[in-house]
Amino acid sequence: MPGKRILVVKGSPREKGNSSLLADQLVEGARSSGAEVEVIILQNLNIQACTACDACLEAPENGCILEDDMQVLYPKLLRADAIAIATPIYWFTMSAQTKLFIDRWYALESPQGNALKGKTFGIILTYGDTDAVTSGAINAIRSFEDMFRFLKAEVAGFVYGSANQAGEVKSQKDLLARAYKLGQKMAC
Amino acid sequence: MPGKRILVVKGSPREKGNSSLLADQLVEGARSSGAEVEVIILQNLNIQACTACDACLEAPENGCILEDDMQVLYPKLLRADAIAIATPIYWFTMSAQTKLFIDRWYALESPQGNALKGKTFGIILTYGDTDAVTSGAINAIRSFEDMFRFLKAEVAGFVYGSANQAGEVKSQKDLLARAYKLGQKMAC
Amino acid sequence: MPGKRILVVKGSPREKGNSSLLADQLVEGARSSGAEVEVIILQNLNIQACTACDACLEAPENGCILEDDMQVLYPKLLRADAIAIATPIYWFTMSAQTKLFIDRWYALESPQGNALKGKTFGIILTYGDTDAVTSGAINAIRSFEDMFRFLKAEVAGFVYGSANQAGEVKSQKDLLARAYKLGQKMAC
Amino acid sequence: MPGKRILVVKGSPREKGNSSLLADQLVEGARSSGAEVEVIILQNLNIQACTACDACLEAPENGCILEDDMQVLYPKLLRADAIAIATPIYWFTMSAQTKLFIDRWYALESPQGNALKGKTFGIILTYGDTDAVTSGAINAIRSFEDMFRFLKAEVAGFVYGSANQAGEVKSQKDLLARAYKLGQKMAC
C-alpha cells in the first residue's frame, strides 16, 4: 500500500523559525510512518490576496483566475491526503502569509462542497507570549476549528507552544515530540 | 478646537463591498461630528507580509525596512487620533488584506509601548453567513479585542452584520445607522 | 421501528421563559418525527453541586454517591438516544441550573469513556442582549462544543436567539421554526 | 491609609484543592501588601440558583428576595474594593458553585449600573487537562472578560495553570508566585 501523501505548508517568514522547526519534526514523523511528504514555504511564493471577483464561482471548471503561485499549489492541495499548516501567531491569530494562502481556498468551493472536504488536517502554532491564551493562539485555533467543521475535514490534531527567539523550540523536547507524533498520526 | 483625525482602513477587495459601504457610513458620521477623515483602501496598495527580520527592533529609529506602501501608511497611523478598520470575514476571521496591514504594526513597537497606544479604534465586520458565530466573526472580534488590550488602546465599538451579495447592506438601515453612530462616537 | 428516545432538559428557572418555549417547539418537532420525548425542568429538582469527592472514580459501579434528584436523571441520560439542553444565557454563559446538572456528568466517566459517548446533542440558547457575541452566548457555545468533542458525542445543532421579556420569543417565527427543525433532526 | 478590602471567593468543592491553594497564595500576597482580606468558601454556603423572578428589578431597594447565604455575601461584595474568584475548570468552564454565586449578582443591577462597577477583580483558574485551551479554561476566561467589560470593572489579572491531583499545585513554584503577585497587585 502506498503511503499517505502529506502536504506541509509553512506560514512563517523565518526559514528556521520555531513553527518551521516543529513542522520539520512533523515531516520526520510522517516519513517514519511511510508517508510521502512535500514541504511548501509560503514566504518564498508569490500569493496574492483573494479579490472576491467570484470568477471561480461563475466558472468552477476554470478555478481561480489569479495568475500566481497558487496555480502550482492548487493541484498539490487536491492530491494531498493530509495537509499540515505551521504558522507563528502574529497579532493574536495566524500570520498574514498563512491567511493569504487560506483565503484562496475559496476557489475550491463547488456545489458538491469544497475540494478539501474529507482531507485530514494538522496544525502547528508557536508564539512568543507565555501561553495559548495570552498569545491569541486560541483565536487561530478557533478559526481553524471553524474551517474544518465547514470543510467537513478531519482534524488530526493541534500542536502549539511558546517559543520566542528563532530556534528556541529546539530545546523543548516535549513540543518536538508532539509535532513528530502528529506527523505519524497524519500518515496513518 | 480642531476635529479629531480619523483614519479609515478598508480591508475588503471589493470597492463597493458591504464592509466598505458600512465604512462609508462611518465616514459620514465622523465628518458630521467635525472629524477630519482619510480613507485608505488596502487592496489598492502594495503591502508585503512582515518578514520578522527584527530590523525594527534593532533600530527602532529607522522603523520598518520593507520598502512598500506601508511607508506611506505609518505616518498616517501615527498622526491619527482614531483608526477604523473595516473587513469582510473570510475563512472565519479577518481578510488577508487586513492581516497583512496589521502584522506590519510590529515595527511600531518600542520600549515605551506600541505607537498605537492610547488611540481609539472602531471595527466594522461583515459576513455572508447568518451570524457572528457561524461566520467566525467572533474569532476576528476576539483577535481585535486581544490586540487592543495589548496596545492599551481605546475601543469605540464593533459594528458587524450579515450581508452576502456586494451592496446588500444598503437595505439594512439598522446596520448602516450603527456604522454612522460609530463614526460619530469616534469623532468625539 | 420504535422512535428515538429524546431527553429534553430545561435549564431556565422560568417555566414559560424563552428558552423553555423554544424547547417546547423542539419537543413538538421531535414528536412529529416519531420520537418518544421526556421533558425535565431542572429548577424543580434538587441537584447539588459536584463535590469532586471522586467516589465515582474509585467505584464506578456505584456511580455518584450524592443522594439527590440526579439519581433519577442518571438512568434517563443513559437510556436517551439524544439529549437536548435549553438554557438562558446568564452572565455570559449558561445558567447555574444547567451547570449544576452538567458538572454531575463526571460520575458517568469510565475507562471506556463517558457514558454519554456517541449520543446526539441539541442545544437551545436565548439571551436578552442583542446577539450571540454581546450576550456571551458564544462562550456557552464554545463550552458545549468542547464538551461534545471530549465526549465524542454527535452535535445535531445549536439554535440561539435574542429574546428578553419572558414569552417574547413567541413572535419570532424563524427562531421557533429552527427549534422545531432541530427536534425533527434529533428524532432521525 | 487603611489597606484595601479584598474579598476572596473560593469556588472549589475541595478545601485543599489546587485553585484553593492558589487562592491562599493570593491572600498571603495581598496581606503582605497591607490589604484586609476575607475568604469565603462557596461550598460551605447555601446559595440557591437565581430564579429570574425580577423582584430585585421591581424593587431595587429590597435587593434579592431569596433568603439564603447570599444575604450575608451581598454586603461583603459591596464593601470590598477588590474581589478575587478562584475556581477549578469543570466541563470546560467555571464550577457550578462559582456560577451559582455569580448569577446572583443580577440583584446588584440598578439604573446607575451594577454595584460591582469600578471594583477590581482577580481570577484564579486550575484544571486537570494540559492547558488553558484543551481544558476549556479559555471559555471561563472569555466569560469573565465579558462580565468585567459589562460591569465596567477593573481587571487585575488572570492566573491559571494545570494541576490535577488535589494539592499538586504546591510543587509549581511559578504558579504559586503568580498568585501571590496577583494578591499584591490587588492590594495596591
Hey, CA dihedral for A133, A135, A137, A139, is it positive or negative?
Answer: positive
- For the residues A133-150, what does the mean pLDDT come to? 97
**Which chain D residues are Cβ-neighbours of C96 within 8 angstroms?**
49-50, 96, 99-100, 102-103
CA distance A28 to chain D (A): 25
Q: How many residues does chain D have?
A: 188
Cell output for B48: 508585503
CB contact under 8 Å between C137 and B133, yes or no, is: yes
The amino acid at residue D85 is I
Q: Which residue has the higher pLDDT, A148 or C164?
A: A148
Residue of A97, C142, C20, C16 lying closest to C8 (CA atoms): C20
Task: Find the CB nearest B49 among A13, A52, A147.
Answer: A13
Beta pairing partners, A169: none
Task: Find the CB nearest D141 among A133, A137, A141.
Answer: A133
CB contact under 8 Å between A132 and D133, yes or no, is: yes
CA distance D177 to chain C (A): 26
C11 at D interface, C-beta within 8 A: no
Residue of A76, A83, A73 lying closest to A121 (CA atoms): A83
How far, CA to CA in Å, does D50 sit from each of A10, D68, D109? Answer: 50, 11, 13
- For the residues B77-92, what does the mean pLDDT come to? 98
**Which chain A residues are Cβ-neighbours of B95 within 8 angstroms?**
49-50, 99, 103
Residue of C3, C32, C71, C52 lying closest to C184 (CA atoms): C32
B87 at A interface, C-beta within 8 A: no
Q: Summarize pLDDT for A80-115 with one digit per residue, the tens.
A: 999 999 999 999 999 999 999 999 999 999 888 999
DSSP state for residue D124 in the 8-state scheme: E
CB contact under 8 Å between B43 and A49, yes or no, is: yes
CB contact under 8 Å between D132 and A137, yes or no, is: no
Distance from C-alpha of A143 to C-alpha of B99, rounded to nearest angstrom: 14
CB contact under 8 Å between A52 and B143, yes or no, is: no
Q: Summarize pLDDT for A7-18 with one digit per residue, the tens.
A: 999 999 999 999
Q: Which helix (H) or strand (E) holds D97?
A: helix D96-103
Question: Which regions in chain C score pLDDT beneath 50?
Answer: none
Distance from C-alpha of B132 to C-alpha of B121, rounded to nearest angstrom: 19
CB contact under 8 Å between A132 and D132, yes or no, is: yes
Q: 468542547: which residue's cell?
A: C146
- For the residues B128-145, what does the mean pLDDT come to? 96
CB contact under 8 Å between B137 and C133, yes or no, is: yes
DSSP states along B29-97: HHHHTT-EEEEEEGGGS--PPP----HHHH-TTT-----STHHHHHHHHHH-SEEEEEEEEETTEE-HH
Q: Which residue has the higher pLDDT, B60 or B66?
A: B66
Is pLDDT at B164 greater than 90 in this prediction? no
CA distance B65 to chain A (A): 15
Distance from C-alpha of A175 to C-alpha of A172, rounded to nearest angstrom: 6
D143 at C interface, C-beta within 8 A: yes
The pLDDT score that the predictor gives to residue B1 is 65
CA distance C28 to chain D (A): 26
Q: Summarize pLDDT for D162-180 with one digit per residue, the tens.
A: 998 878 999 999 999 999 9
Is pLDDT at A1 greater than 70 in this prediction? no
Distance from C-alpha of D122 to C-alpha of D84, rounded to nearest angstrom: 5
Distance from C-alpha of A89 to C-alpha of B99, rounded to nearest angstrom: 12
Quick check: C88 and C17 in contact, CB under 8 A?
Answer: yes
Q: Summarize pLDDT for A33-76 with one digit per residue, the tens.
A: 999 999 999 999 999 999 999 999 999 889 999 999 999 999 99
The amino acid at residue B128 is G
The pLDDT score that the predictor gives to residue A152 is 96
**Which chain C residues are Cβ-neighbours of D102 within 8 angstroms?**
91, 96
Q: 475556581: which residue's cell?
A: D87
CA distance D124 to chain C (A): 18
Q: Which helix (H) or strand (E) holds D7?
A: strand D5-10
Task: Find the CB nearest B92 among A53, A96, A143.
Answer: A143
**Residue A20 contacts by C-beta under 8 Å, 6 or more apart in sequence?**
A10, A12, A14, A41, A86
B112 at A interface, C-beta within 8 A: no
Quick check: D147 and D109 in contact, CB under 8 A?
Answer: no
CA distance D165 to chain A (A): 21
- Average pLDDT of each block of 10 consecutive residues along chain D (188 residues)? 92 95 98 98 98 94 96 98 98 98 96 94 96 96 97 97 88 96 97
Distance from C-alpha of A83 to C-alpha of A116, rounded to nearest angstrom: 9
Cell output for C49: 453541586
CA angle B169, B171, B172 (to 5 degrees): 65
DSSP state for residue C69 in the 8-state scheme: T
Distance from C-alpha of A115 to C-alpha of A112, rounded to nearest angstrom: 8
CB contact under 8 Å between D43 and C49, yes or no, is: yes
Distance from C-alpha of C119 to C-alpha of C6, rounded to nearest angstrom: 10
CA distance C76 to chain D (A): 20
**Which chain D residues are Cβ-neighbours of A160 within 8 angstroms?**
133
* Neighbors of chain D by Cβ distance (3+ pairs < 8 Å): A, C
**Which chain D residues are Cβ-neighbours of C105 within 8 angstroms?**
91
Question: Cβ–Cβ contacts within 10 Å for residue D93, how many?
Answer: 34
Instruction: Give the N- to C-terminal CA distance of chain D in Å, as an integer.
Output: 11
Quick check: D148 and D112 in contact, CB under 8 A?
Answer: no
Q: How many interchain CB pairs under 8 A, B with C?
A: 19
D43 at C interface, C-beta within 8 A: yes
Q: How many interchain CB pairs under 8 A, A with D?
A: 20
CB contact under 8 Å between A95 and B49, yes or no, is: yes
User: pTM of the prediction?
Assistant: 0.94
C93 at D interface, C-beta within 8 A: yes
**Closest residue on chain C to D45 (Cα):** C49
Task: Find the CB nearest B136 among A13, A91, A143.
Answer: A143
CA distance D132 to chain A (A): 7
CB contact under 8 Å between D143 and C93, yes or no, is: yes
A145 at D interface, C-beta within 8 A: no
Residue of B159, B188, B157, B164 lying closest to B176 (CA atoms): B159
